Structure 1
Amino acid sequence: MFSAQGPSLRELAVQALSSVERGYDLLAPKFDHTPFRTPDGILDAATDALRPLGPFEQGLDVCCGTGAGMRTLEPLCQGGITGVDFSAGMLAQAREAHPDAEWVRADVRALPFADAFDLAVTFGALGHLLPAERPALFAGVYRALRPGGLFAFPIGAPPPVSSGLYWALLGFDLVMRMRNAVWRPPFVMYYRTCPLHAVRNDLTAAGFSVATAPMTSLGRRQDGSPRYRLVLARKPGEHM
C-alpha cells in the first residue's frame, strides 16, 4: 500500500494520535506516496465528466491537501485556480508543486469566499467532517460560487456486505470511533458517513440543485451500476 518513500509505521502512529490538522502537517512531506492521495484515475474521470459542462473561469479545490485536485482544475479553468486547506504542511507541499495557483489556509467549515468561483471540487475529504458539520461546508461552497456555479465531487457506491472492502471500511470506522472515545484530540476520518442520499439532502438544503453523472471509466459493479458517480451540485442562476 505504501511506497518506499512513504511514511513509516511509527510516523503513521504519531499521525493517528494527533489532531487532524497536526496529523496532516506531519504527513504532508510523504502524503503523495500513500494510498490516501486521490488516485489519478479518479481525478481524470472527474475531469472527463466535467469537461462538457465547461468551460469555467475561476476554480476552487476545497480541502486541497497537497494539490492533487489541480490535475482536474487546470485543464478546465481558463482563469485562476485556488486551493484551500487548514493544514499549513499540506499547503506548503501544494505551493511547491503548483506555484502558479493561489493557496489559502482556512477552515473549510467557514470558507472566506463570496461569489468568486465558477467551479468548486473536493476529493476524498468529506470523511474528515462529521455529518453535523457538512451543512456548514456546503453553505460555504454555495456562498463561494457565482450564480450558476458548480460544485462537483466523486462518491463511491457502497461495497456489498459480502466483500472484504465492506468489512475493512467498517472495521476502520469502528477503530476510529473507539480511538476518539478515549483519546484527545480527536482525529476525524470515517469512510461510511457520506452516503449519497445524505449528501444529496444536505446539498439540497444548502440551496443546490443536485444531479449525478456515472464515472464509467472507473468500472461497474456486478449489477451494472457504476462504481463511482460524480455529484454535480449547481447553484441557481445563469452561468456567465
Structure 2
Amino acid sequence: MEGPTLRELAVQALSSVERGYDLLAPKFDATPFRTPEPFVAATRRALAEFGPFERGLDVCCGTGAGLGMLTEVTAERPTGVDFSAGMLEQARQAHPDADLVRADARALPFGAAYDLAVSFGALGHFLPEERRPLFDGIHRALRPGGVFALPAARAPEKTEPAYWLLTGFDLVMRVRNAVWRPKFVMYLRTHPRPELYADLVAAGFTIDTTPMPGVGELILARRPPG
C-alpha cells in the first residue's frame, strides 16, 4: 500500500479529528501512526497470563490493529468502536467477523458486556479533562472482574532524540490549535502516569502493571468483582 502524500497529510492535519481520519483511513495502515505489529504482539503475550477471556472490546479501534489480537485472546467475536466512519470501513474490510460500532468513546453505549477492553494509541486524542468520561464508559462496559488493558510504550529520557521529537510535536499541535479551527486533538505527552492512574482509580478501577520486554509495559485496570 502506498502511503499518503504530503498534501494529503496537510489536508488531514487541518481538518477536525473525525474528518481527518475519514480522509486518512484508506492509507492509514501505510503511515507510522498505525500501531506497530511488535507492540500488538507484546500486548497479546502479556495478556496470555491473565486470561482466558470471553469477549473483547477495542476502544478507538481505528482500522483494526487490535481486533486481530482480540480474536486470538478471546473466545467470542470481538467488538470495535470508533467515531470515524472511514476507519470503521477499513476495519470492516480487514476483520469482517468483528462487530463494529460507530460511537464517541466518551459516551460508550455498552453495559457490562465485556471481560476485556483494550485501546492502542488513542489517549492522545483526549484532553486530560476527557479521561474520566472515557474511563467511566469503559468501566461500565466491563463485567465485574473485567480488565481494561492499556499498553504503554517506554517513555524516552530527555537525553534521547525521541523525547524532543515528542515534545516538539506537541508544541506544534498547540500552536496549530491556537490559530486554526477546527481543532485537531492529538497530543503525545499530556497523560503523565500519576494523573492517568488517579483518573482510573476515580472511575472505579484497581491498577496493576506487567512488563512488555522491549517495548514498555501493560497497564491492567480491573473492575473489581462483585
Task: Pick the TM interval, shorter chain.
Answer: over 0.9
1:174 deviation in Å? 0.4
Runs of 4+ in 1 over 4 A off after TM superposition: none
Structure 1 unmatched ranges of 5 or more: 219-226
TM-score w.r.t. the length of structure 2 is 0.98
CA distance, structure 2, for counterparts of residue 179 and residue 160 of structure 1: 26
Partner of 2:189: 192
Give the one of 218, 223, 226 matched to 1:230.
218
Cα distance in 1 between the residues matched to 2:194 and 2:42? 22
Task: Report the secondary structure of 1:103's partner residue.
Answer: strand
* 1:92 equivalent in structure 2: 89
Paired residues, number:
226
Amino acid at match of 2:24: L
Q: 2:173 aligns with which of 173, 176, 193?
A: 176
Give distance in 1, aligned partners of 2:205 and 2:7.
43
Question: What is the letter of the counterpart of residue 104 of structure 2?
Answer: D
Distance 1:30 1:157 in 2: 27
One-letter amino acid matched to 2:8: E
Q: How far off is 1:194 after superposition?
A: 1.7
Task: Work out whether residues 155 and 196 of structure 1, in 8 Å CA contact, stay in contact via their aligned partners in 2.
Answer: no
Give the drift of 1:79: 1.2
Residue 210 (str. 1) matches residue 207 (str. 2): yes
Code of the aligned partner of 1:185? P
Q: Which amino acid in the other structure matches residue 198 of structure 2?
A: N
- Indicate the larger mover: 105-114 or 148-157: 148-157
What TM-score, normalized by structure 1, do the two folds share? 0.92
Structure 2: runs of 5 or more not aligned: none
- Among candidates 37, 42, 46, match of residue 40 of structure 1: 37
Task: Give the distance between the partners of 1:18 and 1:122, measured in 2 at CA.
Answer: 23
Deviations 1:90-121 (A, max 9, x none): 00000011000000000000000001001000
Alignment RMSD (CA, Å): 0.9
* Matched position secondary structure for 1:79: coil
Secondary structure at 1:99 match in 2: coil
Asked whether 1:75 is paired with 2:72, we answer yes
Q: Percent identity?
A: 64
Secondary structure of the 2:134 match is: helix
Once the two structures are TM-superposed, the CA of residue 13 in structure 1 deviates from its matched residue by: 0.1
The equivalent residue for 1:134 is 131
> What are the equivalent positions in structure 2 for 1:11-160 lying under 5 Å apart?
11-160=8-157
**Structure 2 letter corresponding to 1:69:** G
